[in-house]
Amino acid sequence: MHSEVKKSLINSVLAVATLLLVSFLWENTMLLILLLALVSILMLLNESDKIALYLFIIAFLLGPLSEALATYFGAWEYTNPHFLGFSIWLPFVWGNAGLFFRRINLFLNYLSK
């Protein structure tokens, strides 16, 4: 199996794991943070380059900040907010989403060659 396909499959499984963890553990903040951090580390190890790390950090910081702005103005609200109107596990979800969408882009580029 080509490494781009393998990385994409691993990344997809980890992205689905992110969604499932949030869906089932959103009330258990500390356990959820721990497991999401583990998934984030696995996703970063799967990519293993500086661009992935930079993208993760940018999404980790800017995603929740954009949600803080939206929740501040009443666009939506979280059931269990901890900080600036959002749950403190949300940055990991944004970071993982950034890595997932980057991997989709890399996979599509691989397919188009």
Comparing CA positions, the residue from 24, 12, 102, 6 lying closest to residue 57 is: 102
What was the pLDDT predicted at 78? 84
Comparing CA positions, the residue from 16, 5, 32, 18 lying closest to residue 104 is: 5
| Reported pTM | 0.92
- Between the alpha carbon of residue 94 and those of residues 6, 16, 19, 84, 89, the distances in Å are 23, 13, 11, 15, 9
Q: How wide is the angle at C-alpha 63 spanned by C-alphas 8 and 18, nearest 5°?
A: 40
What was the pLDDT predicted at 85? 80
What was the pLDDT predicted at 6? 97
* Tally of domains within the chain: 1
**Structural domain that includes position 73:** 3-111
Q: How far apart are the first and last CA of the chain?
A: 16
